Structure 1
């Protein structure tokens, strides 16, 4: 019997073992996922084959990026099916075709900015695009900054510093932008999503989230604005076994109002219908959700002292249930 998460119009069936990998291959941690205009799925992961491409049924198509990426972290795809790959291991953002050809590199590989200097980049995390093609980069683990670039990679401006006040960040982990130019930042360790205009002016914040890690804006031309938020769940031994903190997915509207929660009440786990560490999200043309999880990275935090299994699930597909 299949497992269904959510309720009402936000119901999703868990598709077990969706991706068919070549013999001997594995994802390890899936840091990010993207879906192109033909519903091909790009899986940006920390295994030996950093970018794996599948059709919507999970059939393997190709891989690329071997020898190029140091540590997969963020992935965004634009309306022309061009990918923006954020590598927090070598402190760069690469603009790449769906065949793996690098068109633009922002940042200097293996030359991080000084820690908390505010200069790009120190372990950048994700990218988003404005309606006119400006590139926003969340930066990240070694900075508390959002950078804005022109479409050709010229640095335009930046905002943010470390802290808890509006406009300040404690690990800006993910970023998204909508069709009107508003910018949304998953301020992970401040347990909120902050909303800005395109030039960094603070507008609002969404609370009642637990370590928002993944952030995906999903709105078609005729659809209401909504977001899927991947919440990482407990991060310290003191609350590792507390119920109802995640890890989970939350679906919210354009004002941050909660519409549905998928999973999370029973805590982390490998069981069907539960999550370990949702880190990257994408939604295809039919409304199905792809969830990348950094399961290996988070195992020791989730289950302190327990040996890491040989295999952990790092990618799930949630198929939208149509009434």
Structure 2
């Protein structure tokens, strides 16, 4: 008996408009907005765009930048924004507002969820204030990590602007100092500093905008740390004690944090290389990698092409997104896209087809 989900996807694949072959497109900055019945993406990872999914009343629930989103154990979508009237916005999967909280994070940026003893806890990064705060899902403060200057981990001349956290299975906390001094800092579950690694530069173990970090547990016998080096268009893999292992190079894609769901890696791409192959404003898309770390789909971007085993340049194909800052994946494999510097727009839903 045929799998009905697979049959539906196969039918859509053969009837939908196919994406253009890879090329560097002549990009029209004033292109008309894409309608919500358009399907984007490639292969088995194609999506219908719902741009109004997360729209709320800006008079009562405003946003500045929709920075990151996570899915909690109750199936709620929790988002962080740098709008202090409501730093945390919680949606149901239909896009309906459940509640909001928080007004102390003027740079609210990183949001990580961790199951601690059966309870959801959040880690919030604010690069503007240099804070990393652990809270309950409803906003009760549980812990705040020490500032590197206060524990003599950084020189007084080194900046600290944390952008993201990742929590290991044993509770160790990894902080990406993506807008500061380009280190990954490791703390114990109690907030005790353990080590730092990385730093600025173009070496394999260095970072250029260490924007994101996540724990890769797809191989339970070899758990690693996947770190963003955004200006290098790369994810860099490390051991849990900070030893460099390898690089996933995604040419043309200024990737934000890696988000692992099932066997796949998903990421928002904040900029694409369009004008003279330089970083181009308002040019994001989404990228998806398979279990072998190969790009298989770029919703909003050009089709991935490999030649002699090397991924060719990827660029934005359609002006659907402006700056994709994060993605969140639900149980039906739909994607929710948060955007930065996108005219205070709310999250966009990509419905898997």
TM-score (norm. length: structure 2):
0.76
**Equivalent residue in structure 1 for 2:295, among 258, 263, 275:** 258
| CA shift for structure 1 position 30 | 0.5
The answer to whether the aligner puts 1:189 opposite 2:263 as a matched pair is no
CA RMSD of aligned residues (A): 2.9
Listed as ranges, the matches of 1:1-323 within 5 Å are: 2-22=37-57, 24=59, 25-47=61-83, 48-66=85-103, 68-79=104-115, 80-108=119-147, 117=155, 122-179=160-217, 180=220, 181-209=223-251, 210-219=253-262, 225-234=263-272, 239=277, 246-265=283-302, 267=316, 274-296=320-342, 311-321=343-353
Cα distance in 1 between the residues matched to 2:65 and 2:317: 16
Cα distance in 2 between the residues matched to 1:83 and 1:77: 5
**Structure 2: gaps spanning 5 or more residues:** 1-35, 303-314
CA distance change for structure 1 residues 155 and 120 in 2, over 3 Å: closer, same or farther? farther
CA distance change for structure 1 residues 236 and 131 in 2, over 3 Å: closer, same or farther? same
CA distance change for structure 1 residues 125 and 241 in 2, over 3 Å: closer, same or farther? closer
Deviations 1:140-160 (A, max 9, x none): 212110011111111111111
Cα distance in 1 between the residues matched to 2:157 and 2:173: 16
CA distance change for structure 1 residues 46 and 113 in 2, over 3 Å: closer, same or farther? farther
8 Å CA contact retained: 1:34, 1:41: yes
Q: Give secondary structure in 2 for the equivalent of 1:256.
A: coil
Q: Show the counterpart of 2:10.
A: none
Q: Show the counterpart of 1:222.
A: none
Deviations 1:32-77 (A, max 9, x none): 11111122011111223111111111111111111x2121111111
Q: Show the counterpart of 1:302.
A: none
| CA shift for structure 1 position 264 | 2.7
8 Å CA contact retained: 1:281, 1:292: yes
8 Å CA contact retained: 1:247, 1:268: no
TM-score (norm. length: structure 1):
0.83
- Which protein has the larger Cα radius of gyration, Structure 1 or Structure 2? 2
Q: Show the counterpart of 1:306.
A: none
8 Å CA contact retained: 1:4, 1:12: yes
| CA shift for structure 1 position 290 | 1.2
Cα distance in 1 between the residues matched to 2:240 and 2:157: 19
Cα distance in 1 between the residues matched to 2:240 and 2:58: 46
8 Å CA contact retained: 2:214, 2:257: no
8 Å CA contact retained: 1:242, 1:267: no
8 Å CA contact retained: 1:118, 1:143: no
The aligned length equals 296
Q: Give secondary structure in 1 for the equivalent of 2:163.
A: strand
